[in-house]
Structure 1
Amino acid sequence: MPAAARVSWSPVGPDLVLEGDNLPVLRRLPDGAFRVAYLDPPFNSGREQRRRTTVTRHDPIGGTRMGFHGRPYDVVKGVVTRYDDAFPDYWAFLEPRLEEVWRLLAEDGTLYLHLDQREVHYAKVLLDALFGRECFLNEIVWAYDYGARTTRRWPAKHDTVLVYVKDPGRYLFDSAEVDREPYMAPGLVPPEKAALGKLPTDVWWHTIVSPTGREKTGYATQKPVGVVRRMLAASSRRGDWVLDPFAGSGTTGEAARLLGRRFLLVDENPDAVDVMRRRLGDGVVVARAAD
Structure 2
Amino acid sequence: MAAGGEGGPAGPLWSPSGSSLVVEADNAGYLPTLPDGAFTLIYVDPPFNTGRSQRRQQTSMVRSADGEGDRVGFKGRSYRTIRGMLASYDDAFEDYWSFLEPRLAEAWRLLAEDGTLYLHLDYREVHYAKVLLDALFGRECFLNEIIWAYDYGARARRRWPTKHDNILVYVKNPAKYHFDSAAVDREPYMAPGLVTPEKAARGKLPTDVWWHTIVSPTGREKTGYPTQKPEGLLRRIVAASSREGDWVLDFFAGSGTLGAVAAGLGRRFVCVDQNPQAIEIMRRRLGGHATVAAFEPALQQAGPV
- Once the two structures are TM-superposed, the CA of residue 148 in structure 1 deviates from its matched residue by 4.3
- Is 1:139 the counterpart of 2:139 in the alignment? no
Residue 230 (1) aligns with residue 236 (2): yes
Q: Does 1:28 align with 2:53?
A: no
1:71-220 counterparts in 2 under 5 A? 89-220=95-226
SS in 2 for 1:278: helix
Structure 1 residue ranges without an equivalent (≥5): 48-85
Cα shift at 1:5: 5.9
Structure 2 contact 154–163 (Cα < 8 Å) conserved? no
1:241-291 CA-partner distances (Å, limit 9, x unpaired):
001000000000011011100000000100000110111132211110142
Change (3 A) 1:229 1:279: same
Q: Deviations over 1:3-51 (max 9, x none)?
A: x86222212111100001001111111100000000000000118xxxx
Equivalent of residue 42 in structure 1, options 25, 30, 47: 47
Structure 2 residues not aligned, in runs of 5+: 1-8, 53-91, 298-305
Q: Identify the residue that residue 19 of structure 1 maps to in structure 2.
A: 24
Query: Which amino acid counterpart does residue 163 of structure 1 have in structure 2?
Result: V
Residue 58 (structure 1) aligns with:
none
SS in 2 for 1:89: helix
1:184-229 CA-to-partner distances (Å, cap 9, x unmatched) read 2223323322221100011111111111101010001100111111
Query: What one-letter code is carried by the residue in structure 2 that aligns with 1:188?
Result: L
- How far apart, in 2, do the equivalents of 1:114 and 1:184 lie? 28
Contact 1:15–1:262 (Cα < 8 Å) also in 2: yes
Match of 1:81 in 2: none
Q: Distance in 1 between matches of 2:93 and 2:23?
A: 23
CA distance in 1, matches of 2:212, 2:189: 15
Distance in 1 (alpha carbons) for counterparts of 2:189 and 2:164 = 21
Q: Percent identity?
A: 74
Letter in 1 for 2:31: L
User: Which has more strand, going by share of residues?
Assistant: 1
Please give the secondary structure, in 1, of the residue aligned with 2:292.
strand
**Aligned equivalents of 2:93 and 2:288: distance in 1?**
35
Residue 173 of structure 1 and its aligned partner are, at CA, apart by 0.6
SS at match of 1:7: coil
Query: Tell me, what secondary structure is at the counterpart of 2:207?
Result: coil
Post-superposition, which runs of at least 4 consecutive aligned residues in structure 1 deviate over 4 A? none
Q: Does 1:264 align with 2:275?
A: no
Q: Say whether the 8 Å CA contact 1:39–1:114 is kept in structure 2.
A: yes
Q: TM-score, normalised by structure 1?
A: 0.83
Give the conservation status (yes or no) of the 8 Å contact 1:18–1:266: yes
Q: Is residue 7–residue 290 contact of structure 1 (8 Å, CA) maintained in 2?
A: no
Could you say if the C-alpha distance between residues 134 and 241 of structure 1 is closer, same or farther in structure 2, counting changes exceeding 3 Å?
same
Query: Contact 2:192/2:200 (CA < 8 Å) preserved in 1?
Result: yes
Aligned letter for 1:41?
A: P
- Calculate the aligned-residue CA RMSD, in Å: 1.5
SS at match of 1:254: helix
Match of 2:85 in 1: none
Q: Is the 8 A contact 2:41 2:238 kept in 1?
A: yes
8 A contact 2:263–2:289 mirrored in 1: no
* 8 Å CA contact 1:16, 1:263 repeated in 2: yes
- After superposition, the C-alpha distances for 1:32-71 in whole angstroms (9 at most, x for unaligned) are 0000000000000118xxxxxxxxxxxxxxxxxxxxxxxx
Shift of 1:88: 7.0
Query: SS state of the match for residue 282, structure 1?
Result: coil
Mapped contact 1:135–1:167 kept (Cα < 8 A): yes
